[in-house]
């Protein structure tokens, strides 16, 4: 059979590939479709300018080290006069390490460093060999739109740490001619966690583009990046930690595009690998790796494309491998393994447990594929109509600015310099606006100062509205953001790095119709009574982290919720999720760390739930180990279906307890942790038999069919909401999306 295989990768790049097509197919070149975060505004009057305010030359000749350091020191204090440093076009020669210092708790916190454009704004190393260009101890911080050029002499472009840091972002950056582009801590320092790297390019990194290097360097989310001629693109082989890679491009990696030396959970989704030595390598470990490879395209690797020497479990889902080398995928035979819907161009492609399920894989003859790839692009800074809010302005002043902007019908940015803005009555964004709230980072705070009830911000659809780089504080009295009437056809809600904390009721409540696309990237939710609730709507969380919720997830009213690549930990609350109404829920790749007691409270409970619940590559292990039930099914269960695929627990018996006479429950590739840290398979006898192929397809359908889609501007008559690095905290409900 002659087959045409077409792969379309959304968001990070456009791609068409044809394998052994009967007739030549002219590849299309769709425009780059980025996440909403590519929309950046500025510069604004409140921003510090390294040339204007600190005397930097940017001519490639003068030593600009001192000028740039003085700019970084200016945004260091706990209560700085400004929180954003702007670096205009130019080449800035430095001879010593630039330091983002944090000694006091809130120093170098909620700060932003932004260049005009990475093609125009270059910081070039001209100091001692094997040095660090930028030592960043900042947190809740962002560095954007710069090129860091090591000139073949610097060891590291950005070294994160030594203190624990979290909620950082590196976007639209170029890292070139260094040993390491980014080092995420080191083994003798503290961790670097919850970090987003998006639309960055790594060229000729002799060791690694991104190196995760500490046990607590967790939740690195890498989106739409390019890695060329590096030893490793992304790895934890020089330390420990975990990462996830999405929609990125790798070319000619000398050892592997990505690798792991220490265990954790890892996902690689929607990536392209071109002529690298390998796509992924995992060294020998007696532990579980919890690995997902979904919709990747691997072209002509020089050796084995994927080699796994830990216990997995490994899920291969809808990948395409074009190679003459066999085996293509090599996995330890005692590791958990499942292959579904993959395409290979060679026989004997898989060397793994011969009894592992393999469904709908294909072998096709193929000539050299024809590729058309559109790489991620850094868009120019937007300079729309701007309304400046005066420092310490009151709610009436802000509302007046909103009303003026609403009347213009053109894109308008309302800019809030760093500071606290008291809101004593709800700010109202009316229908049919084209409006953005833009702050100067997390130290721009809209704080509720009214009575109990209400909301800091109310948004009425249909409207086009966004929030960038600011915080909303409900003072424990008010809702944060309430959106109403967003049910129009074509409506969408997109959030990147939305951070919700301290909601007395629900952190994120989704009640929109299912035709409204609600997509969350790199979300954080913590310290809420309920972290996320979907009531009749549809929500996809593509990546994120969470902690200390009394209950993390709830689905009701037939709602649909997919949660991927998300960490959870708590020492306070035993429950993680409770399903007792109706709907569909899939958690795909997670760490769920909960207390060891009380012993009679399950981590997850299904109580006569009418719908499907699937956990994939989810580690429920407690520390220290506990026999507390991880997943409990009870009630009549006539409408209950549950699948545990590649999950981990603490013993042979604690992972699943089924007390329902009618529930349909299956387990595949279960593992337990052993004293001392090793892992071992859990015998299915005493739990349940393996699922049938039909049941697997049904239960995997929700994650199988879910990938990020190109984000277009919604029609004029629909609601288009974009939240980018918005922090919503101390509220009754954090973010509410209503019909």
3-state secondary structure 241-256: CCEEEECCEEECCCCE
Helix (H) or strand (E) holding 302: none
List the one residue out of 363, 283, 355 whose CA is nearest residue 326.
363
Strand partners, 16: 372
Check residue 20 and give its pLDDT: 46
pLDDT digits 0-9 by tens, 34-76: 555 568 899 999 999 999 999 999 999 999 999 999 999 999 9
Residue 12 pLDDT > 60, yes or no?
no
Residue 7 pLDDT > 90, yes or no?
no
Q: Which of 138-147, 284-293, 436-445, 690-699 has the lowest mean pLDDT?
A: 690-699
pTM of the predicted protein model: 0.96
Mean pLDDT of 296-308: 97
The residue ranges of every structural domain in the chain are 384-537+710-739, 543-707
pLDDT digits 0-9 by tens, 193-215: 999 999 999 999 999 999 999 99
pLDDT digits 0-9 by tens, 212-265: 999 999 999 999 999 999 999 999 999 999 999 999 999 999 999 999 999 899
Mean pLDDT of 286-292: 95
Check residue 41 and give its pLDDT: 93
Mean pLDDT of 292-306: 96
Residue 710 pLDDT > 90, yes or no?
no
List the one residue out of 290, 383, 283, 359 whose CA is nearest residue 697.
359
Grade residue 519 by pLDDT with cuts at 50, 70 and 90. Answer: very high
Q: What is the DSSP string of 369-424?
A: PEEEEE---PPPPB--EEEEPPTT--HHHHHHHHHHHHHH-S-EEEE--SEEEEES
Q: Which of 161-175, 294-308, 369-383, 566-580 has the lowest mean pLDDT?
A: 369-383
Check residue 33 and give its pLDDT: 54
Grade residue 728 by pLDDT with cuts at 50, 70 and 90. Answer: very high
Check residue 1 and give its pLDDT: 26
- The bridge status of strand 84-87 relative to strand 479-484 is unpaired
How high does pLDDT run on average in the chain? 92
Grade residue 685 by pLDDT with cuts at 50, 70 and 90. Answer: low
306 Cβ contact list (under 8 Å, min separation 6): 278, 279, 280, 281, 293, 298, 316, 328, 329, 330, 331
pLDDT digits 0-9 by tens, 134-168: 999 999 999 999 999 999 999 999 999 999 999 99
Torsion of CA 614, 615, 616, 620, to 10 degrees: -170
Distance of CA 57 to the CA centre of its chain: 37
Cα–Cα separations (whole angstroms), residue 602 to 200, 243, 352, 654, 689: 42, 28, 34, 10, 22
Check residue 272 and give its pLDDT: 95
Cα–Cα separations (whole angstroms), residue 89 to 5, 416, 489, 501, 724: 43, 24, 42, 37, 25
What phi, psi does 104 have (nearest 5°)? Answer: -80, 160
Percentage of residues in the chain having pLDDT higher than 90: 86
pLDDT digits 0-9 by tens, 108-128: 999 999 999 999 999 999 999
Residue 104 pLDDT > 50, yes or no?
yes
pLDDT digits 0-9 by tens, 92-101: 999 999 999 9
Check residue 676 and give its pLDDT: 79
Determine the longest span between alpha carbons in the chain, in angstroms.
Answer: 77
Cα–Cα separations (whole angstroms), residue 380 to 176, 349, 384, 416, 534: 21, 44, 12, 21, 36
Mean pLDDT of 170-177: 97
Residue 14 pLDDT > 60, yes or no?
no
Grade residue 26 by pLDDT with cuts at 50, 70 and 90. Answer: very low
Q: Are 720 and 516 in contact (CB under 8 A)?
A: no
Residue 418 pLDDT > 50, yes or no?
yes
- Interatomic CA distance for residues 74 and 55, integer angstroms: 14
pLDDT digits 0-9 by tens, 581-639: 999 999 999 999 999 999 899 999 999 999 999 999 999 988 778 889 999 999 999 99
Helix (H) or strand (E) holding 511: none
- Token pair in block for residue 632: 């409990």
- Interatomic CA distance for residues 455 and 650, integer angstroms: 44
Check residue 24 and give its pLDDT: 32
Check residue 2 and give its pLDDT: 27
Mean pLDDT of 331-355: 96
């Amino acid at each position: 059979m002659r087959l045409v295989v077409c792969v379309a990768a959304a968001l990070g790049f456009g791609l068409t590939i044809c394998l052994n097509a009967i007739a030549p197919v002219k590849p299309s070149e769709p425009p780059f479709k980025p996440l909403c975060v590519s929309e950046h505004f500025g510069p604004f009057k409140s921003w510090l300018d390294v040339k204007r305010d600190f005397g930097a030359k940017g001519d490639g000749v003068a030593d600009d080290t001192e000028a740039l350091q003085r700019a970084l020191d200016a945004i260091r204090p706990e209560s700085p006069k400004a929180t954003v440093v702007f670096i205009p076009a130019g080449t800035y020669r430095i001879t010593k390490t630039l330091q983002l210092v944090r000694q006091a708790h809130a120093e170098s916190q909620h700060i932003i460093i932004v260049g005009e454009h990475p093609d125009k704004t270059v910081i070039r190393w001209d100091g001692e060999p094997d040095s660090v260009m930028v030592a960043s101890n900042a947190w809740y911080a962002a560095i954007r739109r710069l090129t860091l050029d090591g000139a073949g002499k610097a060891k590291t472009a950005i070294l994160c740490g030594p203190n624990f840091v979290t909620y950082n972002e590196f976007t639209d950056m170029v890292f070139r001619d260094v040993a390491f582009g980014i080092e995420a801590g080191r083994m003798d320092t503290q961790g670097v966690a919850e970090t987003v790297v998006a639309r960055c390019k790594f060229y000729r990194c002799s060791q690694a583009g991104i190196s995760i290097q500490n046990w607590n360097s967790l939740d690195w989310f890498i989106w739409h990046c390019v890695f060329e001629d590096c030893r490793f693109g992304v790895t934890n082989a020089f330390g420990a930690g975990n990462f996830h890679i999405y929609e990125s491009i790798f070319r000619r990696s000398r050892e592997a595009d990505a690798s792991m030396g220490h265990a954790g959970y890892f996902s690689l989704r929607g990536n392209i690998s071109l002529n690298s030595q390998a796509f992924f390598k995992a060294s020998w470990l007696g532990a579980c790796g919890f690995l997902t490879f979904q919709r990747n395209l691997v072209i002509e690797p020089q050796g084995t494309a994927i080699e796994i020497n830990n216990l997995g479990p490994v899920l291969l889902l809808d990948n395409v491998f074009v190679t003459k080398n066999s085996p293509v995928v090599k996995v330890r035979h005692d590791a958990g393994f499942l292959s579904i819907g993959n395409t290979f161009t060679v026989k004997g492609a898989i060397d793994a447990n011969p009894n592992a399920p393999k469904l709908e894989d294909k072998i096709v003859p193929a000539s050299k594929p024809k590729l058309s790839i559109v790489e991620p692009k850094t868009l120019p800074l937007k300079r729309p109509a701007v309304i400046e809010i005066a420092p310490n302005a009151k709610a009436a002043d802000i509302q007046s600015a909103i009303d003026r902007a609403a009347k213009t019908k053109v894109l308008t940015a309302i800019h809030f310099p760093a500071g606290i803005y008291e809101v004593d009555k709800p700010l109202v964004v009316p229908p049919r606006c084209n409006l953005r709230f833009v702050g100067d980072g997390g130290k721009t705070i809209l704080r509720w100062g009214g009575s109990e009830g209400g909301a800091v911000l109310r948004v009425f659809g249909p409207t086009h509205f966004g929030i960038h780089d600011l915080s909303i504080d409900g003072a424990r009295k008010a809702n944060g953001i309430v959106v109403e009437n967003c049910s129009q056809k074509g409506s969408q809600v997109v959030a990147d790095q939305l951070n919700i904390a301290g909601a007395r009721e629900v952190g994120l409540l989704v009640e929109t119709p299912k035709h409204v696309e609600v997509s969350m990237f790199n979300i954080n939710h913590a310290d809420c009574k309920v972290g996320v609730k979907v009531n009749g709507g549809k929500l996809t969380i593509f990546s994120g982290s969470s902690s200390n919720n009394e209950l993390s997830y709830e689905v009701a009213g037939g709602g649909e919720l997919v949660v991927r690549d998300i960490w959870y930990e708590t020492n306070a609350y035993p429950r993680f999720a409770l399903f007792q109404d109706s709907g569909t829920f899939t958690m795909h790749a997670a760490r769920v760390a909960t207390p060891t007691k009380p012993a009679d409270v399950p981590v997850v409970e299904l109580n006569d739930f009418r719908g499907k619940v699937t956990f994939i590559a989810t580690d429920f292990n407690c520390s220290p180990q506990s026999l507390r039930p991880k997943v409990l099914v009870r009630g009549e269960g006539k409408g209950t279906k549950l699948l545990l695929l590649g999950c981990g627990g603490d013993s042979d018996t604690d992972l699943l307890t089924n007390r329902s006479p009618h529930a349909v429950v299956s387990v595949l590739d279960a593992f337990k942790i052993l004293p001392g840290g090793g892992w071992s398979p859990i015998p299915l006898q005493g739990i349940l038999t393996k699922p049938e192929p039909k049941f697997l397809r049904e239960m995997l359908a929700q994650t199988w069919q879910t990938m990020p889609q190109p984000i277009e501007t919604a029609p004029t008559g629909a609601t288009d909401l974009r939240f980018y690095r918005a922090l919503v905290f101390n509220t009754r409900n954090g973010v509410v999306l209503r019909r």
